[in-house]
Structure 1
Amino acid sequence: MDDEAPLSAPPLKPPLQNKSAPRDQEPSGDAEKLRKWHEERLERKLRGEYESAVQHLAELIHDNSETRMRIANIRVDGANTTRRSFLAWLIKPHVPESSLSNLGSVLNTTRSITHILNETDIFASALPTLTISRSPLARDGDIDLIFKTRERGKFFLKTATEFGDGEGNASVQGKIRNVFGGAEVLEGSVSLGTRTRKAFNLSLSAPLTSSLKTRGELLAYGLERDYTSFASCVEGERGVKATIRSLVKGGIHEFAYEASLRRIGDLKPTASLSIRESAGQTLKSAVSHTWSHDTRDDRTTATRGSYIKTFQELAGLGGDAFFYKSQSNLQLSRPVWRGSTVSFAMRSGVLWPFFGKASFFPDRFQLGGPLDVRLFKQNSMGPRDGVTMLGDADSIGGDLYWAAGVSLISDIPWKPHWPLKTHVFVNAGRLDSMDRSKSFVDNVRTCVSQPSISSGIGLLYRFDPVRVELNFGVPLVASKSDGHRRGFQLGIGLDFL
Structure 2
Amino acid sequence: MGVVHAKSKTPGDEIIETRILDTSSLKARVDRIHVQGLQRTKDDFVQAAVAPLMEVTEMNNLFLTVNEVRNTLGQLACFKSVAVGIDVSGTTPDGVEVWFYVEELKRHRGGFKAQGGNNEGSCGIGFDSVNFKGRGEKASFSYEYGTRKTASFALDVSKPLVDLGCSKLAASAFSTNSISPSSLFRLTSRGLSLGLDLFPFWDVQHRVSWDGCWRDLNCMSIDTPFSVREEAGHSLKSGLRYSVSKDSRDSKMLPTEGTLWRLSSEASGFGGDVGFLQHGFDYQANFRVLGNLVGQVGLSGNVQYQTPWQTSMSLKAPQICDRCFMGGPLDVRGFRINGAGPHADAAALGASTKLAYGAHIYFPMPGISHYGFSDSFRFHAFATAGHIGELQEKPNFEELRHTLRQNLRASCGIGMVLRLGDMARLELNYALPMIWQNGDQRQRGFQLGIGVDYL
Q: Normalization by structure 1: what TM-score?
A: 0.78
- Which residue is equivalent to 1:173? 126
Tell me how far apart the structure 2 counterparts of residues 150 and 454 of structure 1 sit (CA, whole Å): 51
Per the TM alignment, residue 484 of structure 1 is displaced from its structure 2 partner at its CA by 0.9
- Which residue is equivalent to 2:194? 242
Tell me how far apart the structure 1 counterparts of residues 272 and 92 of structure 2 sit (CA, whole Å): 66
| CA displacement 1:307-346 (0-9 Å, x = unmatched) | 2111110111111111110111111223222222222211
Q: 1:351 aligns with which of 285, 298, 304?
A: 304
Does the CA contact (< 8 Å) of 2:305 and 2:395 recur in 1?
no
Q: 1:474 aligns with which of 424, 432, 437?
A: 432
- Which residue is equivalent to 1:90? 49
Q: Cα–Cα, structure 1 residues 112 and 495, in superposed 2: closer, same or farther, change >3 Å?
A: closer
Deviates more, 1:431-440 or 1:476-485: 431-440
Q: Percent identity?
A: 24
Q: 1:121 aligns with which of 44, 69, 77?
A: 77
- Which residue is equivalent to 1:201? 154
Does the CA contact (< 8 Å) of 1:435 and 1:443 recur in 2?
no
Instruction: Give matches, 1:55-454, under 5 Å.
Output: 59=21, 65-66=26-27, 71=31, 74-96=33-55, 113-123=69-79, 124-128=81-85, 130=87, 147-195=100-148, 197-210=150-163, 212-227=165-180, 229-247=181-199, 248-249=201-202, 251-355=204-308, 356=311, 358-385=317-344, 387=345, 392=346, 394-415=347-368, 417=370, 418=374, 419-436=376-393, 441-454=398-411
- Which residue is equivalent to 1:463? 420
Tell me how far apart the structure 2 counterparts of residues 365 and 346 of structure 1 sit (CA, whole Å): 15
Residue identity matched to 1:118? G
| CA displacement 1:341-385 (0-9 Å, x = unmatched) | 222211111010234453222211121110101111111221222
Does the CA contact (< 8 Å) of 2:332 and 2:386 recur in 1?
yes
Per the TM alignment, residue 84 of structure 1 is displaced from its structure 2 partner at its CA by 2.1
Greater relative contact order (Cα < 8 A, sep 6+): 2
Q: Normalization by structure 2: what TM-score?
A: 0.84
Tell me how far apart the structure 2 counterparts of residues 271 and 176 of structure 1 sit (CA, whole Å): 43
What's the secondary structure of 1:210's corresponding residue?
Answer: helix
Residue identity matched to 1:462? R
Does the CA contact (< 8 Å) of 1:401 and 1:432 recur in 2?
yes
Does the CA contact (< 8 Å) of 1:116 and 1:211 recur in 2?
no
Task: Identify, as 1 or 2, the structure richer in strand.
Answer: 2
Q: Cα–Cα, structure 1 residues 63 and 260, in superposed 2: closer, same or farther, change >3 Å?
A: closer
Tell me how far apart the structure 2 counterparts of residues 468 and 246 of structure 1 sit (CA, whole Å): 32
Per the TM alignment, residue 164 of structure 1 is displaced from its structure 2 partner at its CA by 2.7
Does the CA contact (< 8 Å) of 1:126 and 1:150 recur in 2?
no
Residue identity matched to 1:221? F
Does the CA contact (< 8 Å) of 1:329 and 1:346 recur in 2?
yes
Unaligned runs of at least 5 residues, structure 1: 1-44
Q: Cα–Cα, structure 1 residues 221 and 105, in superposed 2: closer, same or farther, change >3 Å?
A: same
Per the TM alignment, residue 105 of structure 1 is displaced from its structure 2 partner at its CA by 7.8
Does the CA contact (< 8 Å) of 2:27 and 2:94 recur in 1?
no
Deviates more, 1:401-410 or 1:458-467: 458-467
Alignment RMSD (CA, Å): 3.3
Tell me how far apart the structure 2 counterparts of residues 345 and 48 of structure 1 sit (CA, whole Å): 57
Instruction: Give matches, 1:27-66, under 5 Å.
Output: 59=21, 65-66=26-27
Residue identity matched to 1:455? C
Unaligned runs of at least 5 residues, structure 2: 1-8
| CA displacement 1:182-201 (0-9 Å, x = unmatched) | 11121221100034700111
Q: Cα–Cα, structure 1 residues 125 and 403, in superposed 2: closer, same or farther, change >3 Å?
A: closer
What's the secondary structure of 1:445's corresponding residue?
Answer: helix
- Which residue is equivalent to 1:486? 444
